[in-house]
C-alpha cells in the first residue's frame, strides 16, 4: 500500500490509500504506518487522517496511535497549533 501511495499521481488516490492503512493489525506494520504519517510523503493536513485511521482500525491501533501522539506531541503541536487539526487529532 505504501508503494501504491508513492506511485499515485492524484492526491485523491493518495488519500484513499491513507485511509485504508488504518486497517492493518500487525504491530510492526502499525508502527510503520504511524511513522509514515509524519513523513514528507504525507501532506501535513493528511497526517491526522492517517493517525485517526490507525486509531479507529483496532484496539491495538488505538493504543499504538495514542502512544505515538504522546511520543510525538511536540512535533504535532508545533505543526498544528492554533488550527482545527490539533483539536481533530485530540478527538481521534
Report d(CA 13, CA 40) in Å as an integer. 17
Neighbouring C-beta atoms of residue 29, cutoff 10 Å: 14
23 backbone dihedrals φ, ψ, rounded to 5°? -80, -5
Domain locations in the chain as residue ranges: 1-91
pLDDT of 21 reads 86
pLDDT of 87 reads 83
Model confidence, pTM: 0.85
Q: Scan for cell 503541536, then name that residue.
A: 77
pLDDT of 73 reads 92
pLDDT per position as a tens digit, 26-70: 889 999 999 999 999 999 889 998 999 899 888 899 999 999 999
Q: Are 20 and 1 in contact (CB under 8 A)?
A: yes
Amino acid at each position: 500500500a505504501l508503494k501504491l501511495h508513492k506511485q499515485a499521481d492524484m492526491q485523491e488516490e493518495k488519500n484513499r490509500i491513507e485511509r485504508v492503512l488504518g486497517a492493518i493489525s500487525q504491530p510492526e506494520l502499525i508502527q510503520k504506518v504511524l511513522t509514515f504519517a509524519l513523513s514528507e510523503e504525507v501532506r501535513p493536513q493528511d497526517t491526522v487522517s492517517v493517525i485517526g485511521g490507525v486509531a479507529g482500525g483496532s484496539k491495538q491501533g488505538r493504543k499504538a496511535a495514542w502512544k505515538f501522539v504522546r511520543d510525538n506531541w511536540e512535533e504535532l503541536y508545533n505543526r498544528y497549533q492554533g488550527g482545527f487539526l490539533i483539536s481533530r487529532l485530540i478527538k481521534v
